Structure 1
Amino acid sequence: MRIDFDPSAMSTHAFYRLLTAVVVPRPIAWVSTISKEHPDRPNLAPHSFFTVSCVEPPIVQFTSVTRKDSLRNVEKTGEFVVNLAPEKLFREINDTGTDFPTEVSEFEAVGLQQEPSLRVKPPRVAASPAALECVLHSMLTLGDSTVVFGRVVHAVASKEVLAEDGLPDIGLMRPLTRLGRNEWGTLGKVLDKPRIRWSDWQKGERS
């Protein structure tokens, strides 16, 4: 038996809770930005509406639900960094979701060390195993939310998380994901299976 849910008959918050319990797991963009008013107090916040948008040019996107500091800072400076959110920094990642006043730096408040970025002004999280430095490509406002598209101008990864092929190894990065309610996901079993080409499919060459 299925239960029907009508978004027009539910409150925004109630349907949001349902939606985020269905669309799981969601990768986390741990976004660092700086404000023009307080450039010495960088902002850091987790955003769980995050994905890759384009390959050429390389563009990633995150969504700011309502107008948060990350969005305001990107609007004014045109730059941000997406830091990987690893399991080992679970407490700090959750803590940076606190609604600190604008003038408070989350880096300082939760005890995270910064490191300078190469191509943009916002700093990276020194303990994060990978980061994407971005310049603003465009923004799209949808209702109470704004989708921020950033062109990746530089990427960095710690040598310790790179596999033999030179790519980051998910088992070494151990990324966190967001689920429904107050739930978070950690890395479980990883399935490795290549896609099947049509020519092989026709030959019945499927494993």
Structure 2
Amino acid sequence: MFYEAHSNEHGLRHDPFKALVSPRPIGWIGTLAADGTPNLAPYSFFNAIGDNPKMIMFASDGRKDSVTNVEATGEFSASLASLTLADKMNASSISAPPHIDEFDYAGLTAKPGRLISAPHVGEAFAALECKVVDIFRPKTISGTESGYILVIGQVVGIHIDPHIVTDGKIDMAKAAPLARLGYRDYSHGAETFEMVRPTWEDEA
């Protein structure tokens, strides 16, 4: 089958786009409101940009509390959403008013950062402390602004629980990072396999 994306006439019961661009890591974004209220929300449009310097991004469908908070403070955290915390991650996705502390609602600890004020999930196996370097709305091919707000942060601090480290590497079987698939489906990275990049040998 083929269909033009702008029409979205795929003939299926549900839009397949998100299922095709998967798995997507979950950015469990922690922020602090201007009045000091902690905020926690999972974003499936999230990823690393590069590692020198270390930068990550998340995209919000419209202006939500996370975006409002990072605009005000210039900081956010990204905690590792693992299989062991799946239910609590889901609980923190509730669309709550700005004065609600999702850390408290989900039964999680809002642990203060070392280099930033924004809290991260104390129970998470790992967390990144970030400072905002850019916030913007990507443009469409017609030149108009999209409804998404892209937040880019530079990682300034990294927390890792030694429990998930084996032989000097993050042990995915222990970390079991959650990923969003399509629809209401999730997966985790506990089952992995290794491949070594081939080396080009010039036989000339």
TM-score (norm 1): 0.88
Equivalent AA in structure 1 for residue 160 of structure 2: A
Matched residue SS, 1:195: coil
Q: Aligned residue for 1:115?
A: 111
Cα RMSD after superposing both structures: 1.7
Moved more, 93-102 or 179-188: 179-188
Equivalent AA in structure 1 for residue 178 of structure 2: L
Indicate how the Cα distance of structure 1 residues 127 and 188 shifts in structure 2: closer, same or farther if over 3 A, else same.
Answer: closer
1:131 to 127, 132, 152: 127
Equivalent AA in structure 1 for residue 54 of structure 2: P
Once residues 119 and 8 of structure 1 are traced to their aligned partners in structure 2, the CA distance between those partners, rounded to angstroms, is 43
Please say if residues 77 and 127 of structure 2, whose CA atoms lie closer than 8 Å, have aligned partners that are also in contact: yes
- Output aligned runs, 1:37-186, within 5 Å: 37=35, 39=36, 41-142=37-138, 143-165=146-168, 167-186=169-188
Please say if residues 157 and 168 of structure 1, whose CA atoms lie closer than 8 Å, have aligned partners that are also in contact: no
**Post-superposition offset of 1:190:** 0.9
Count of aligned pairs between the two proteins: 193
**Post-superposition offset of 1:188:** 5.4
Structure 2 alignment gaps of length 5 or more: 139-145
Please say if residues 61 and 147 of structure 2, whose CA atoms lie closer than 8 Å, have aligned partners that are also in contact: yes
Structure 1 alignment gaps of length 5 or more: none
**Post-superposition offset of 1:62:** 0.9
More helix by share: 1
Are residue 6 (structure 1) and residue 4 (structure 2) matched? yes
Q: Aligned residue for 2:33?
A: 35
Once residues 99 and 53 of structure 2 are traced to their aligned partners in structure 1, the CA distance between those partners, rounded to angstroms, is 34
Q: Aligned residue for 1:189?
A: 191
**Post-superposition offset of 1:140:** 2.5
Once residues 165 and 61 of structure 2 are traced to their aligned partners in structure 1, the CA distance between those partners, rounded to angstroms, is 33
More strand by share: 2
**Post-superposition offset of 1:111:** 0.9
Matched residue SS, 1:193: coil
Once residues 170 and 31 of structure 1 are traced to their aligned partners in structure 2, the CA distance between those partners, rounded to angstroms, is 21
TM-score (norm 2): 0.89
Indicate how the Cα distance of structure 1 residues 168 and 188 shifts in structure 2: closer, same or farther if over 3 A, else same.
Answer: closer
Once residues 195 and 44 of structure 1 are traced to their aligned partners in structure 2, the CA distance between those partners, rounded to angstroms, is 37
Once residues 175 and 117 of structure 1 are traced to their aligned partners in structure 2, the CA distance between those partners, rounded to angstroms, is 21
Deviations along 1:65-115, one digit per CA (max 9) or x if unpaired, are 111111110011000000000001111111111101110000111111122
Once residues 103 and 5 of structure 1 are traced to their aligned partners in structure 2, the CA distance between those partners, rounded to angstroms, is 43
Matched residue SS, 1:36: coil
